[in-house]
């Protein structure tokens, strides 16, 4: 199978080019490090705050929120190699100054890291 070809071998021709709002944005990876934020102009002249690097997280502990420093990324459910690269993404388990926490939001979209403290079960 040749991509972009008909069964007869002829080419498919695009009717038009993609418009700017149809094009995908640049892929962003939030990594562990000194906080670095970027502000993007989005549709309607609005601004979107994008996180590029961070070492702080808002941790929710039984209804109360505390700010904690991120020490390390323990594991990521999407891909184990992301944890080795210290990537911060939704569902990642992080080691913080308050203990282990799970990231509950999408940092690459929202500009902050929100997490909940993970209660570890004792094997007794």
Q: pLDDT tens across 36-66, in order?
A: 999 988 889 999 899 999 999 999 998 899 9
* 2 — pLDDT class (breaks 50, 70, 90): confident
pLDDT of residue 43: 86
Instruction: Examine the pLDDT at 100 and tell me if it is beyond 70.
Output: yes
CA 33 to CA 35: how far, in whole Å?
A: 6
pLDDT digits 0-9 by tens, 62-79:
889 999 999 999 999 999
pTM: 0.79
Listed residue (104, 114, 88) closest to 28, CA to CA = 88
CA 17 to CA 58: how far, in whole Å?
A: 42
pLDDT of residue 123: 58
Please give the span between the terminal C-alpha atoms of the chain, in angstroms, as a whole number: 57
Domains of the chain in start order, with CATH, are 27-117 (3.10.290.70)
- 109: part of which helix (H) or strand (E)? helix 107-110
Instruction: Examine the pLDDT at 122 and tell me if it is beyond 70.
Output: no
What share of residues in the chain are helix, strand, coil (percent, to 5)? 10, 40, 50
């Amino acid at each position: 199978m040749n991509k972009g070809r008909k069964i007869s071998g002829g080419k498919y021709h695009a009717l038009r080019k993609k418009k700017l709002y149809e094009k995908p944005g640049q892929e962003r990876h939030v990594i562990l490090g000194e906080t670095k934020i970027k502000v993007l102009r989005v549709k309607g002249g609005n601004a979107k705050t994008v996180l590029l690097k961070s070492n702080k997280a808002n941790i929710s502990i039984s209804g109360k929120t505390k700010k904690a420093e991120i020490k390390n990324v323990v594991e990521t459910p999407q891909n184990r190699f992301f944890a080795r690269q210290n990537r911060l993404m939704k569902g990642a388990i992080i080691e913080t100054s308050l203990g282990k926490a799970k990231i509950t939001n999408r940092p690459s979209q929202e500009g902050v890291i929100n997490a909940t403290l993970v209660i570890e079960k004792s094997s007794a």
